[in-house]
Amino acid sequence: MNLRLQNIRLRVGTFALEIDAAFDHPITGIFGPSGAGKTSLLDLIAGLRQPDAGAIVLENEVLFDANNGCDLPPRFRRIGYVPQDLALFPHLSVRGNLRYGQRRVSAKNGAFTLEHVAEAMEISPLLERNVTNLSGGEQQRVAFARALLSSPRLLLLDEPMSSLDLKLKTRLIVLLHRIREEFRVPLLYVTHDAQELRTLCDEVCVLEKGRLVGRGSPAVILDRDR
C-alpha cells in the first residue's frame, strides 16, 4: 500500500479530523475508541466525503487535492469499501451483489473471477440465495467478495467483525490473510478490538479525537496501551 494523507482536515460541528500520514504496510490497522473519526477517515479515502483541506494520494495518483480542486469520484478510485453495516444490496441475490462491482479488468485478472473469489470466500453454494436470508458470517464474506471483485487497489474494512462471535472471527481472519496473500490487496482495517489487530496487522495507527496519536507494530502499540 502506498497511501498518503497530506494535512487532511475535516470539520464536522465541534469534531475535527486532522491527519498527516503515509501508510505503506500491506495491512494497517486503525485503532481507536468510538467517535475517534475512524469511519470518517475511511469515507474520505473512499471519496464519500470531501476533506476541507489537504490531499489524498494513492500509488502516486492524486485522489483529492483541495489546493487545485482535484476530487476523483469514488467510482474511479478503485478502492473497495466494506462498511460496518456491510451495505449489501437487499434486492439482489448473492450473485447479483458480486456481479455489481465486478469490473471488466477483473476478467483479465484470473484471481478476480467471480467463481474464484466466491470459492476463496467460501460462498459458492450461496450464489443464488437472497442476501437478506444469510447469516451474519455469510453476509460478511459476501461483502468481502463483492469488494474484491471490483479489483481494488486498496480495501477499506470498517469494523467488519464487530457483530461476530469468536468462532466466526477466527474463520474470517483466515480469509483476510488469504485476501492479503492470494489477491495481494492491501487492507486498511478499522477496529477497536486489540486481538484482531494482533493477528492481522503489520502496523497499527492509534486514532483519538480525530488525530493520530501513535503508530508502530501491533505488539509495541498494544502492549504500550495496556
Partner 1 sequence: MNAEAWKIVLFTMQIAALSTVLILPLGIATAWLLTRPGWRGKALVETCAMLPLFLPPVATGLILLALFGRRGPLGAWLERAFGIEFVFTWRAVVLACAVMSFPLLVRAAQSAFQEVNPRLEHIARTLGASEWRVFFTISLPLALRGIIAGAVLAFARALGEFGATAVVAGMIPGKTMTISLAIYQNIQLGHDDAAWPLLAVSIGIVFLTVFCGQILSRRQSAR
**Burial bucket for residue 208 (CB in 10 Å: 0-12, 13-18, 19+):** middle
Q: How far is the CB of 142 from partner 1 (least distance, A)?
A: 12
Stretch that binds partner 1, among 50-58, 97-105, 109-117, 171-179 (CB under 8 A): 97-105
Q: Is 13 in the site for partner 1 (CB under 8 A)?
A: no
DSSP class per residue in the chain: --EEEEEEEEEETTEEEEEEEEE-SSEEEEE--TTSSHHHHHHHHHTSS--SEEEEEETTEEEEETTTTEE--HHHH-EEEE-TT----TTSBHHHHHHHT--HHHHHSGGG-HHHHHHHTT-GGGTTSBGGGS-HHHHHHHHHHHHHTT--SEEEEESTTTT--HHHHHHHHHHHHHIIIII---EEEEES-HHHHHHH-SEEEEEETTEEEEEE-HHHHHHHH-
**Is 15 a residue that touches partner 1 (CB under 8 A)?**
no
Q: Which of 37, 47, 160, 218 touches partner 1 (CB under 8 A)?
A: 47
Should residue 4 be labelled a site residue for partner 1 when binding is judged by CB under 8 A? no
Q: Under the criterion CB under 8 A, does residue 73 sit at the interface with partner 1?
A: yes
Say how many residues touch partner 1, by CB under 8 A.
24
Residues between 108 and 167 with contacts to partner 1, criterion CB under 8 A? 146-147, 150
Among residues 75 and 184, whose Cβ is nearest to partner 1?
75
Q: In the set 64, 81, 144, 189, which binds partner 1 (CB under 8 A)?
A: 81
Residue 64 binds partner 1, judged by CB under 8 A? no
Q: Is 48 in the site for partner 1 (CB under 8 A)?
A: yes
| Residue 210 interacting with partner 1 (CB under 8 A) | no
Our CB check for partner 1 shows the closer of 69 and 90 to be: 90
Give yes or no for residue 51 binding partner 1 (CB under 8 A). no
* Cβ proximity of 175 and 107 under 8 Å: no
Q: Binding residue for partner 1 (CB under 8 A) from 89, 109, 135, 162? A: 89
CA distance 23 to 15: 23
Interaction of residue 101 with partner 1, rule CB under 8 A: yes
Residues within the interface to partner 1 (CB under 8 A)? 46-48, 73-81, 83, 85, 87, 89-91, 100-101, 103, 146-147, 150
